[in-house]
Chain A
């Protein structure tokens, strides 16, 4: 209630004691709300970040190329060369400090000036032009920048990139399947990432890591260990990167110091002096204060995303857990107030938003078309000892999420059965404001998923979810996503006896003409063979790519951070982490379930239509088959309605995919696993598939995550959740479920209560994750019509939120189509 209204109300009820008492309470709330609004500094930092234009910066590419051309670079081993390149960049890159900043450190020469990584993927001048001019997720680049790429960067890196190595090493079958849209490949433009920092930086400085390196070096066995020399080189490389980040912080300290000297404003001067001290102390030494801890993490973050362009970027993970000891201690001794803690967190938030994901092109841009770099702050969950981890800071971080309303960082809550209802209710009050954050994860499921994979219970409890929905043991696991897997395309290929109907190419084995199938099981057998065939191709490719990264692209800085790379003296990209997992992400479960169900129901069980006719209709994109299409859409059982007849197919397909992938070994000593999430690939994957037998027209998006196909869950949210819970989530490393609600549903406490219980119910059935879009279709349609009026409109896409305006038109349409539930 705003103050004016309140005063009016006050005049109306003068003299009435009860009403007056009630008013007193309201006034208090107004005051309390005032306290929690962001201050001027944060408001302006936030605005600047929102206004900054995404552009390409040639700085990193130039420095990297210069170093690679230098004499020193030719004399050293590859890991050392990578480390020295990292150091060279941090020594020479521009230092940028925002006018009112509290947390410093920038990857580019200014906010949203985004580097490229030519050692991984080299952008041609044409690529830069496309990036500059494309309507969505553009990166501006001037003539100057393009000239630098043309003159310096491209001549040196042409033919030498990881991307070149990858494509030249792939077999013909891989290339054909990739081109056809059977799967995508994450590492063709970005280095392996997908890891989250644990708690070690909060008790150790880089000086301590160097000490660990020294001890490991001393323990190397040059008599019996044939790997000893490689280990030595890797450890030396790690040490160089440790020095590099300390040096980088000192450069910031020096600049801050000179800024302090010339600063006229007394308060800011004092602040700059403090920040100077902080940057001299961390990351060399362990942090002592809340501010030091945040600044330390941020230097580490910038380091990781400067060394390489890992996908996902990087992530502090369990921020409320890591920072709580500092918060508590400083509140007690009076050196920190809640307001200051919040201001620091908000300044920290802005830093993430200043760092968009590096530019993606081609298929990779289609599968993940967003500025988001998938940092996902985890709040809540369980402590390592298995008890409720929600603390005061968890709530403070949720306040920050609510007030900042920015794209990055993403945020989520971990909800264990042990966490209080007040916690989920608080989170839902943010969800209802409609910007797609925080998403909600089931801690108890995540812990079981991770322990099933062989992690210790402590490591599992210290974990959480990152990226979109991926489970990981934070600080100890390299869990690399390798590519989306188009389950629907493979079904289309199966229905064409191994051929891709778009090109006529024989991509898979001949598993029989479906017109000759005598029963539904014959179709399932054929489909399973095709899934296995393409999973094998993908895995063979992955194994080569993994090896290419282990061999040519060590990441010594990242290796310092993830246990046990130092003590194993082995690089992150070569299996140095305690746990190593490679994921393949299944896409289109809802669509596949609906198509198979349609065949089972209409062709085999009800015999409403012959296989020949239904395939004919689809091949004509249902032109002239309107009635059949109407039947397929409205009179055929669909996944998402708690109807076992349809849901059985989702379970069958899930298990086929699981069997084809799960448990197979990877070259770095890890294991292949599955998860079920699409980012935006369900739109791309849909675009390469003709009309499907569930009535979907050619080229239209597929279902996303494990959500029912857009609009086909008609029995309400409980039924949709029941259907989604029928697959065994614990066999995955994450599933994604999207539900859209209109804001009305959240209007009162009762709505919040019902939604909280809906989530608890889903999690009781081991559901992994759920997220909500809270907007009306009307608003979205308006936003399509008048984008200029809705520039701040953020919606949940799939595992992440994005500005509605930045989505492609198809994606916008799809978000509008997603079922709106008006009530329970």
Chain B
């Protein structure tokens, strides 16, 4: 997917990017190459997350694989999840759902929780704003539900794009039918605009405002009235 509002555009390609960063120290300017993204081995990740084991134990927390889209690297994710499970960590995948169903079938038993993005139900709009059809995403969501996996829906609140009445009702209707009851509302923010600039990419949502609290609260009430448990921010 290539969502126009993506705030991690650097992870849309499976490459390591280099950008130049300015740093000012005592009035002197330093230009430095900063690499965005880095190749790591499974063991490095395991070592890093194991450092915080004491805090997972206290909070019931664990490891969330996020991105970009973690399922862009299905084999690695599968093997990583296996190792994490072996270590006894709680595992969670933050995904847009755009991956082969075969991949989902493989990782389903290894992930305890899915944070699952639902953006637009109208497929024409979905194609327009994200570059791909939502068919696969919706199919995979059904698959998770059929297998009784724990799922929290993440719904990005993008004014003029996702928060129109038709889309909201469609989202509510779909989730209700699937028997899902938890939604995180993710308010759109434009903080990534600089990233696009730095990476020489075009930011297409310059006109879109950030949603205000009042709007978020009313969306929250809207979904709550339908019996959903809703969190703003997630």
Residues of chain A touching chain B, judged by Cβ–Cβ distance below 8 Å, are 622, 626-627, 629-630, 633-634, 642, 718-719, 722, 750, 753-754, 757-758, 760-761, 764-765
Residues of A within 8 A of B231 (CB): 750
Nearest-neighbor residue (CB-CB) of A635 within chain B? B32
Interface contact B59-A626, CB-CB below 8 Å: no
Which of B23, B25, B59 is the one whose CB lies under 8 Å from A761?
A: B59
* Interchain CA distance A750-B32 in the complex, whole Å: 38
Q: How far is the CA of A764 from the CA of B59 in the complex (A)?
A: 12
Q: Does B58 lie within 8 Å of A760, measured CB to CB?
A: yes
Evaluate contact between B26 and A626: CB separation under 8 angstroms. yes
Q: How far, in angstroms, from A744 to B112 measured CA to CA in the complex?
A: 29
CB proximity to A under 8 Å, residues B31-57: 32, 51-52, 54-55, 57
Across the two chains, which residue of chain A brings its CB closest to B54? A761
Residues of A within 8 A of B51 (CB): 642, 718-719, 722
Contact B59 A754 (CB under 8 A): yes
Grouping DSSP codes into helix (H, G, I), strand (E, B) and loop, the B interface class, with mixed when no group exceeds half, is mixed
> Is the pair A718, B30 in contact by a Cβ cutoff of 8 Å?
no
Using CB atoms and an 8 Å cutoff, list the residues of chain B in contact with chain A: 23, 25-26, 28, 30, 32, 51-52, 54-55, 57-59, 61, 231
| Interchain Cβ contacts under 8 Å between A and B, 8 examples | A626-B30, A629-B26, A718-B52, A719-B51, A722-B54, A754-B59, A761-B54, A764-B58
CB-contact partner of B58 in A629, A642, A722, A761, under 8 A: A761
Which B residues lie within 8 Å of A750 (CB)?
A: 231
Q: Are A630 and B25 in contact (CB under 8 A)?
A: yes
Q: Tell me if B55 and A718 are in contact (CB < 8 A).
A: yes
CB-contact partner of A634 in B23, B55, B58, under 8 A: B23
Residue in A722, A753, A754, A760 whose beta carbon sits within 8 Å of that of B52 in the complex: A722
Docked CA distance A765–B55 (Å): 10
Q: Report how far A750 CA is from B234 CA in the complex, Å.
A: 10
State the main secondary structure of chain A at its contact with B. helix
Residues B59 and A753 in contact, CB atoms below 8 Å apart: yes
User: A757 is contacted by which of B23, B32, B58 (Cβ under 8 Å)?
Assistant: B58
Asked whether, in the complex, the Cβ of B28 is within 8 Å of the Cβ of A626, the reply is: yes
What 7 A-B pairs have minimum CB-CB distances, sorted nearest first? A757-B59, A761-B55, A626-B28, A760-B58, A757-B58, A761-B58, A761-B54
Residues from chain B with a CB closer than 8 A to the CB of A754 are 59
Q: Say whether, besides A719-B51, A722-B52, A633 and B59 are in contact (CB < 8 Å).
A: no
Are B30 and A630 touching (Cβ within 8 A)? Answer: yes
Give the distance in Å from the alpha carbon of A630 to the alpha carbon of B30 in the complex: 8
Instruction: Give every chain A residue within 8 A of B32 (Cβ-Cβ).
Output: 634
Contacts of A718 in B (CB 8 A): 51-52, 55
What CA separation (Å) do A630 and B31 show in the bound complex? 11
User: Which A-chain residue is minimally distant from B26 (CB atoms)?
Assistant: A626
In Å, the complex CA distance between A573 and B220 comes to: 65
**Which residue of chain A lies nearest to B56 when distances are taken between CB atoms in the complex?**
A761
Which of the residues A629, A634, A765 comes within 8 Å of B54, measured between beta carbons? A765
**Contact flag A757-B28 (CB < 8 Å), given A764-B54, A765-B54:** no
For residue A624, give the distance in angstroms from its CB to the closest CB of chain B: 10
Q: How far is B23's CA from A629's CA once the two chains are assembled, in angstroms?
A: 12
B62 CB → nearest A CB, Å: 12
Q: Which residues on B sit within 8 Å (CB–CB) of A633? A: 25
Question: Chain B contacts of A626 at CB under 8 A?
Answer: 25-26, 28, 30
Distance (whole angstroms) from the CB of B55 to the closest CB of chain A: 4
Give the CA-CA distance A757 to B28 in the complex, in Å: 42
Chain B hits for A642, CB < 8 A = 51
User: Within the complex, what minimum Cβ distance (angstroms) separates B130 from chain A?
Assistant: 26
Smallest distance from the beta carbon of B47 to chain A beta carbons, Å?
11
Q: Write the nearest CB–CB distance from B216 to chain A, whole angstroms.
A: 13
Complex Cα gap A642–B25 (Å): 25
- Least CB distance from B28 to A in Å reads 4
Q: How far is the CB of B16 from chain A (nearest CB, A)?
A: 18
A725 to B89, CA, bound (A): 22
Report the separation of the CA atoms of residues A251 and B59 in the bound assembly, to the nearest whole angstrom.
56
Residues of A contacting B55 in the complex (Cβ-Cβ under 8 angstroms)? 718, 757-758, 761
Q: Which B residues touch A722, using CB under 8 A? A: 51-52, 54
CA distance A757 to B62 in the complex (A): 13
CA of A722 to CA of B54, assembled, Å: 9
How far apart are B232's CB and chain A's nearest CB, in angstroms?
Answer: 9
Please give me the residue from chain B that is nearest to A716 by CB atom. B52
Cα A626 to Cα B51 with chains together (Å)? 34
Taking the nearest CB of chain B, how far is it from the CB of A16, in angstroms?
Answer: 10
Docked complex Cα distance between A719 and B54 (Å): 11
Minimum C-beta distance from A620 to chain B (A): 13
Q: How near does chain A come to B15, taking the closest CB pair, in angstroms?
A: 24
Task: Give the shortest distance, in Å, between B162 (CB) and chain A (any CB).
Answer: 23
Interface centre among B23, B28, B54, B55 (most CB of A within 10 A): B55
Chain B: which residue is nearest A751 at the CB level? B233
* Alpha-carbon distance A760/B59, docked complex (angstroms): 9
Output the least CB separation between B174 and chain A (Å).
24
Q: Which residues of A contact B52 (CB under 8 A)?
A: 718, 722
Find the B residue at minimum CB distance from A764.
B54
Q: Which residues of B contact A627 (CB under 8 A)?
A: 30
* Chain B residue at minimal CB-CB distance from A633: B25
A contact residues around B26 at 8 Å (CB) = 622, 626, 629
Choose among B23, B57, B61 the residue that contacts A630 (Cβ–Cβ < 8 A).
B23
In the complex formed, the residue of B with least CB distance to A721 is: B55
Report the separation of the CA atoms of residues A296 and B85 in the bound assembly, to the nearest whole angstrom.
Answer: 60
Apart from A633-B25, A719-B51, A761-B59: 14 A-B pairs, beta carbons within 8 A: A626-B25, A626-B28, A627-B30, A630-B25, A630-B30, A722-B51, A753-B59, A754-B59, A758-B55, A758-B58, A760-B59, A764-B54, A764-B57, A764-B58
B108 to chain A, nearest CB (A): 27
Output the least CB separation between A369 and chain B (Å). 27
Nearest to B25 among chain A residues (CB) is A630
A629 touches B25 (CB 8 A): yes
Q: How far is the CA of A583 from the CA of B23 in the complex (A)?
A: 43
Q: How far is the CB of A694 from chain B (nearest CB, A)?
A: 14
Complex alpha-carbon distance, A400 and B147, angstroms:
52
A139 to B133, CA, bound (A): 73
Cα distance A258–B54 when bound, in Å? 63
The answer for the CA separation of A633 and B28 in the assembled complex, in Å, is 14
Q: How far is the CA of A622 from the CA of B59 in the complex (A)?
A: 45
Q: How close is A629's CB to chain B, nearest CB, in angstroms?
A: 7
Task: Give the Cβ gap from B12 to chain A, nearest Cβ, in Å.
Answer: 23
> Within the complex, what minimum Cβ distance (angstroms) separates A40 from chain B?
35
A629 to B59, CA, bound (A): 39
Closest Cβ of chain A to B33, distance in Å, is 12
Q: A748 CB to closest chain B CB, in angstroms?
A: 8
Q: Whole-angstrom distance between the alpha carbons of A758 and B58 in the complex?
A: 8
